A and B are shown apart, each in its own frame.
Chain A
């Protein structure tokens, strides 16, 4: 049978009308409780930052300058591509200078966030599948998901791979991943790998590699065939131009492989190996990528 837009409107209104009337006191008290919790978290962050500064010498809270690591290959010096707005929430110092943000292709609004707001690790209770940080001689690598509400209420579809000083007070290197925030990282002798498997909210998958000696970034994106953020809105065709302006070397691969990109891969003699995804048709198939080129 044929369904019309009027049918859809009628169905939506019927569904909404069937909902129970909410208790507005519960809505207000719930909002109040969440505001109080957010304030407590901020105070905890402020206390941690203050304590860290006192430990390292009683210096006032400032963002120390640092020497940037070698830049990723590609268009690292280009202006950051447009991204959703974020709003710094406190009067704490910015996590990165404007110059550093420019050099790494980081949105200025993200760089303006205080460290405690910018460095938001995945909650292991919510996302237990992979490692999101690792200590190395060059510093602490971690996957961060800073999320803020913008002026129009939008949330940032954004994640970063960060290299921090061991005390987390400075950002030594930052790699932005708009639309494909990493979920895990893997440290090997030569490189840091990160990646994600698409979900219902952000359906595209991705694997990245950062050369530990040069800082060069390579990213391969596996766009979702139905609902990719990298598809042309008019045609639905995934286009590589959608990756223009991103720092490092980004490329689009074919469709999503039937492998498990949600879990950390293994580096073997055969390459970077992702296990098969048993939820895929036919039980999935393992994916092997060249550990240097990700091809």
Chain B
């Protein structure tokens, strides 16, 4: 049995662990759950470390996102997405802090897949194609999930420009992971 970490693994965690943890915090909104999520992803990556071709961080982040969107369902048992969106706090407050607060609160109400798409697209600035690759799904599904998520978050102004699935081409096509 080999308990020694594969070459470069520890250095990778030291360098990129905090960034991966930030992703996990945005998904889980709980420090302890985020730590668990990162550990699970690192353990999976550990076992296939030598086979990872290229970007280790993107690989581990993809595991985090998919573990959250799929495996994390056990902790989401009974939570169903709904057509009746909750009233968001701070709608009548104009300052940026309350806007951010209300957006984060609204983000927590999204189904896991939509939340994962939002984090990849608008925190990590992944392109739709990169998001689709990371989540093992189609670009069309990413567009659809993005549209639904932004609709739920009531981001209206740029909704049609950036995420309407009926529009081909996104203004963020030039972004890279």
Binding site for B on A (CB under 8 A): 1-5, 7-16, 19-22, 24, 26-28, 30-32, 34-36, 38-39, 84-85, 87, 126-127, 147, 149-150, 152-155, 157, 198-203, 224-227, 231, 233-234, 236, 279
Minimum CB distance partner of A3 in chain B: B155
- B contact residues, total (Cβ < 8 Å): 90
Shortest A89–chain B CB gap in Å is 8
Contact A7 B81 (CB under 8 A): no
Contact B166 A234 (CB under 8 A): yes
**In the assembly, what is the distance between CA of A234 and CA of B14, in Å?**
41
Tell me which of A31, A39, A201, A234 contacts B73 (CB under 8 A).
A201
**In the assembly, what is the distance between CA of A49 and CA of B45, in Å?**
27
Contact B66 A7 (CB under 8 A): no
Chain B residues positioned under 8 Å from A147 (CB to CB): 70-71
Binding site for A on B (CB under 8 A): 1, 3, 5, 9-10, 13-14, 17-18, 21-23, 25-26, 31, 34-36, 38-48, 59-63, 65-67, 69-74, 76-83, 91-94, 96, 99-101, 103-104, 107, 111-114, 118-119, 122-123, 133-136, 138, 140-141, 143-144, 148, 150, 153-158, 162, 165-166
Chain B residues positioned under 8 Å from A198 (CB to CB): 80
**In the assembly, what is the distance between CA of A227 and CA of B147, in Å?**
11
Q: Knowing A24-B14, A152-B134, A154-B66 touch, does A16 contact B123 (C-beta < 8 A)?
A: yes
**In the assembly, what is the distance between CA of A13 and CA of B144, in Å?**
24
**In the assembly, what is the distance between CA of A28 and CA of B6, in Å?**
11
Shortest B33–chain A CB gap in Å is 12
Chain A residues positioned under 8 Å from B5 (CB to CB): 28, 31-32
Contact A28 B10 (CB under 8 A): yes
Tell me which of A7, A12, A152 contacts B123 (CB under 8 A).
A12
Contact A9 B78 (CB under 8 A): no
Minimum CB distance partner of B103 in chain A: A11
Chain B residues positioned under 8 Å from A22 (CB to CB): 17-18, 21, 34-35, 38
Minimum CB distance partner of A85 in chain B: B136
Minimum CB distance partner of A34 in chain B: B43
**In the assembly, what is the distance between CA of A8 and CA of B43, in Å?**
31
Q: Knowing A21-B18, A153-B62 touch, does A12 contact B81 (C-beta < 8 A)?
A: no
Tell me which of A1, A34, A225 contacts B39 (CB under 8 A).
A34
Chain B residues positioned under 8 Å from A7 (CB to CB): 96, 99-100, 103, 155
Contact B17 A154 (CB under 8 A): no
Contact A16 B22 (CB under 8 A): yes
Contact B60 A153 (CB under 8 A): yes
Not counting A31-B5, A234-B165, a sample of 19 additional A-B residue pairs whose C-beta atoms are within 8 angstroms of each other reads: A5-B158, A12-B122, A12-B123, A14-B100, A14-B104, A15-B100, A16-B25, A22-B17, A35-B43, A38-B43, A149-B44, A152-B136, A153-B65, A154-B62, A154-B135, A155-B136, A203-B80, A226-B83, A279-B78
Shortest B17–chain A CB gap in Å is 5
**In the assembly, what is the distance between CA of A126 and CA of B81, in Å?**
21
Contact B46 A9 (CB under 8 A): no
Chain A residues positioned under 8 Å from B70 (CB to CB): 147, 155, 157, 201-202
**In the assembly, what is the distance between CA of A11 and CA of B155, in Å?**
13
Minimum CB distance partner of A37 in chain B: B43
Tell me which of B25, B38, B79, B122 contacts A199 (CB under 8 A).
B79
Contact A153 B156 (CB under 8 A): no
Chain A residues positioned under 8 Å from B63 (CB to CB): 149, 153
Contact A233 B34 (CB under 8 A): no
Q: Knowing A27-B38, A199-B79, A201-B76 touch, does A9 contact B123 (C-beta < 8 A)?
A: yes
Q: What are 22 A-B pairs at a CB distance below 8 A?
A: A7-B100, A8-B103, A8-B118, A12-B123, A15-B25, A19-B25, A27-B39, A31-B42, A85-B136, A149-B44, A152-B59, A152-B133, A199-B76, A200-B77, A200-B79, A203-B80, A226-B81, A227-B111, A231-B144, A233-B138, A233-B165, A234-B140
Contact A31 B46 (CB under 8 A): yes
Contact A152 B62 (CB under 8 A): yes
Chain B residues positioned under 8 Å from A87 (CB to CB): 48
**In the assembly, what is the distance between CA of A36 and CA of B46, in Å?**
11
**In the assembly, what is the distance between CA of A261 and CA of B21, in Å?**
36
Minimum CB distance partner of A2 in chain B: B157
Chain B residues positioned under 8 Å from A200 (CB to CB): 73, 76-77, 79-81, 111-112
